[in-house]
Amino acid sequence: MPEDDHPKIDDDVISCATDILMRRYGCDVEEAGSKLRDWSRETNLGVLTVAAWLIEDAAGGGSGGGI
Domains of the chain and CATH, by start: 7-56 (1.10.10)
Give the per-residue pLDDT at 7.
79
What pLDDT sits at residue 15? Answer: 97
pLDDT value at residue 63: 54
CA atoms of 23 and 27, how far apart (whole Å): 7
Per-residue pLDDT tens listing for the chain (67 residues): 455 567 788 999 999 999 999 999 999 999 999 999 999 999 999 999 999 999 999 999 655 555 5
32-64 in b/e burial notation, b at 16+ Cβ within 10 A?
bbebbeebbeeeeeebbebbbbbbebbeeeeee
Q: What is the pTM of this model?
A: 0.77
